[in-house]
Structure 1
């Protein structure tokens, strides 16, 4: 039988498989952020909300920890005594103590975090893990980069989850 030139079936399947993997994972990263940053910021915000909720559930009644958002930056802080109101002072900016102890997260330009059309807000929880203030009846946080929007829901009883 004369020798023929060409690919075997196994080689063809392997090439198609490798091209599929590249198309799904590698190429979107080369072409841009591909939605990865919005997922990362959403996941960090979700984790930080759950941390603040858990800390509030385990602190003495006179102390409180809250999540401070001055979009797109956010951090958490703890008070020895709870302030009478949400004391978000965006004019003074982020203090050095808040930047280090509150583990300030600063997403890249173009990202925004909002709650009820406000980019500056404070979120707190009671000792039972339920949200207080403007989120007492439940609320939705929006994380956006201008093209995509991701949502986090805080239920009135304290369940915090991503909305697909």
Structure 2
């Protein structure tokens, strides 16, 4: 009986094919995260919108003076609320610490992601009434675009009744 050491040609070919399949499917994910950033920022914005909507439906006493809106800045790619108590303050020059609120976020400039409502220039505001229906720039429903140059826009739809969902173009 001959004691052979090593692999057969078929075993080597199978291993090479498996490694090739893995390399083709997994390697692009390590190429960079920029193509996934728009999806991440869209998901984060949906969470901020739903949180603001939930706050509006829970804090129904208008005497409390709470402001249930998100302002989209026209200077930087960011959104948030300058002052949760003062709804008249929608100036794009946000107060220091505005991002401490759970609804605020600034996009790192290297990702080149911008936001707009129905294709209009910012600053714009999305607010919610005590029933969770959109108000302000989104009164009657709107589409919020998450834009990254060279890629298709990702769209968040807010229906007239307040339903917030993702709308992907084919």
TM-score, normalising length: structure 2: 0.77
Give, in whole Å, the separation in 1 of the partners of 2:82 and 2:91: 13
Give, in whole Å, the separation in 1 of the partners of 2:115 and 2:101: 21
In the other structure, the counterpart of 1:137 is 140
- After superposition, residues 5-24 of structure 1 pair within 5 angstroms as 5-8=8-11, 12-24=13-25
Structure 2, unpaired ranges of 5+: none
Structure 1, unpaired ranges of 5+: none
SS at match of 1:147: coil
Give, in whole Å, the separation in 2 of the partners of 1:135 and 1:103: 17
- After superposition, residues 15-54 of structure 1 pair within 5 angstroms as 15-30=16-31, 32-54=32-54
Number of residue-to-residue matches in the alignment: 156
SS at match of 1:96: coil
Measure how far apart 1:78 and its partner are: 5.8
TM-score, normalising length: structure 1: 0.80
- CA spacing shift, 1:26–1:66, aligned 2, 3 Å: same
User: Is residue 77–residue 102 contact of structure 1 (8 Å, CA) maintained in 2?
Assistant: no
User: Is residue 76–residue 102 contact of structure 1 (8 Å, CA) maintained in 2?
Assistant: no
Measure how far apart 1:122 and its partner are: 1.2
**1:76-105 C-alpha deviation (Å, 9 max, x unpaired):** 46634x63x5x3212xx2212313235531
Match of 1:115 among 114, 117, 120: 117
